Amino acid sequence: MAIFLALGSFIEHSGSAQFFIDFPMALFRGMKAGGAYAAVVASGLMGMGSGSPVANVVTTGTFTIPLMKRSGFPAHVAGGIEAAASTGGQLMPPVMGAVAFVMAQFTGVPYFKIIGYAAIPAFLFFLTVGFGVYFRSVHMNLKAVPVSDLPELREVIKGADNFLPIVVLVGVLAIGYTASLAAFWAVMSLAGLILIRNPNKGFFPIIGRCFADGGRKAAEFAAAMACISIFVKVIMGTGVGLKLPILIEEYSRGNLVM
């Protein structure tokens, strides 16, 4: 679990997050409501490696919310689109906010199979948010953001190496190795990219920030999991988990709504 949170921190601090923002902005360059579409796609891309809604808003929202407002979206609508898209980031495989790793532990279902199943609802979620953006933009007859204010796709695509950790993560999982080992090699691939981009003294400060942020997130997640585990043990130990469904079935007297 901790290694996945570290992976998200590496993506945020290595510069890969900026690519995940610039790519959809360039992809929807010149389109009406392009900033909103970029927000949806950027949040999905960030979610693939980070899985944190808060980090998603902080990184992608800084750029996409002003773009949406310039397109004509009211501030509260722009904020709502960004919040919805960033929340969906924690549903996006392969990281899924590290929850998929916990699911694999508790259910015994292989991690790779879980993220495969999760890809369908995640895609439908972002498709729905995208439709919401489309209908809103048509209703408001919005204008496009000037292309001069947006990056060009041919320039952005030069940074496609930022997809490396995602490719490594999925590739190692496909070979049959454990999720933790796949995340470890994804982190190592990002560390290699950071070293190539910062061959001098800049390498170690960036690595330090990555581990510090990842450690902080891991501590928060561990505290939450400890509380959840206590709750689950109480439910199982007292027998409430078994008795409650039986009582509901008994008192419902065949009422399916109940």
Q: Looking up tokens 């995208």, which residue turns up?
A: 130
What pLDDT score was predicted for residue 1?
A: 61
CA distance 133 to 250: 45
Token pair of 65 as six digits: 């919310």
Q: Looking up tokens 């585990």, which residue turns up?
A: 229
Contact yes or no for 50/12 (Cβ under 8 A)? yes
Q: Per residue, what are the HEC states of the chain?
A: CHHHHHHHHHHHHHCHHHHHHHHHHHHCCCCECHHHHHHHHHHHHHHHHCCCHHHHHHHHHHHHHHHHHHHCCCHHHHHHHHHHHHHHHHHCCCCHHHHHHHHHHHHCCCHHHHHHHHHHHHHHHHHHHHHHHHHHHHHHCCCECCHHHCCCHHHHHHHHHHHHHHHHHHHHHHHCCCHHHHHHHHHHHHHHHHHHHCCCCCHHHHHHHHHHHHHHHHHHHHHHHHHHHHHHHHHHHHCHHHHHHHHHHHHHCCCCCC
CA distance 52 to 7: 11
CA distance 164 to 189: 7
What pLDDT score was predicted for residue 97?
A: 66
* pTM for this model (two decimals): 0.65
Closest by CA to 172, choosing from 224, 257, 115, 238, is 115
Q: pLDDT 10s digit of each residue in the chain, 258 long?
A: 677 777 777 877 777 777 877 888 888 887 777 778 888 888 888 877 666 777 777 778 877 888 888 878 888 998 999 889 988 888 888 777 667 767 777 777 887 788 888 889 999 999 999 999 888 888 888 777 777 767 788 888 888 888 888 888 878 877 877 777 877 888 888 888 888 888 777 788 888 888 888 888 778 778 877 888 888 888 888 888 788 888 888 888 878 777
